[in-house]
């Protein structure tokens, strides 16, 4: 079984998601997408498999989103994909691929919906928020 995370180690949400994957006993394939961006076809396929609009995977915060005029609703999916290919920081993260699906894991605990194995113990995010209890159950 393979789990893949498109990861940015500078992002707390991405680090928490990676830690939740590892807490399930998986050692995922980690793709630092800013260093090794997915090919355009791969990104388009990931978005299709998530079942979300391309615009939902476009990161606004901390990116040149506004400077590039990407809020323009007339931009096509192809134009948005072109922008993400030209500037990978525009790809929102982390995107996780498992045998159970593909998901943009924001918040990080969204990854629990697609992990094939249960959590092996308690987990708290970097900010101290408890996500999984001592029995490996999701805290609501």
Burial classification of residue 18, based on how many CB atoms lie within 10 Å of its CB (0-12 exposed, 13-18 middle, 19 or more buried): buried
| Helix segments in the chain, DSSP class H | 12-23, 40-50, 77-86
- CA dist 75 and 7 (Å) reads 26
Q: What is the set of active-site residues? A: 11
């Amino acid at each position: 079984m393979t789990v893949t995370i498109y990861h940015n180690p500078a992002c707390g949400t991405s680090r928490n998601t990676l830690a939740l994957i590892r807490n399930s006993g998986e050692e995922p394939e980690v793709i630092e997408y800013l260093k090794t961006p997915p090919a355009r076809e791969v990104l388009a396929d990931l978005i299709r498999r998530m079942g979300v609009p391309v615009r939902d995977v476009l990161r606004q915060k901390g990116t040149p989103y506004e400077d590039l005029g990407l809020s323009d609703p007339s931009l096509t999916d192809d134009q948005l994909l072109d922008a993400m290919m030209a500037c990978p920081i525009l790809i929102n993260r982390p995107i996780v691929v498992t045998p159970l699906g593909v998901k943009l894991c924001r918040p990080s605990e969204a990854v629990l919906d697609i992990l094939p194995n249960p959590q092996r113990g308690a987990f708290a995010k970097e900010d101290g928020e408890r996500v999984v209890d001592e029995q490996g159950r999701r805290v609501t």
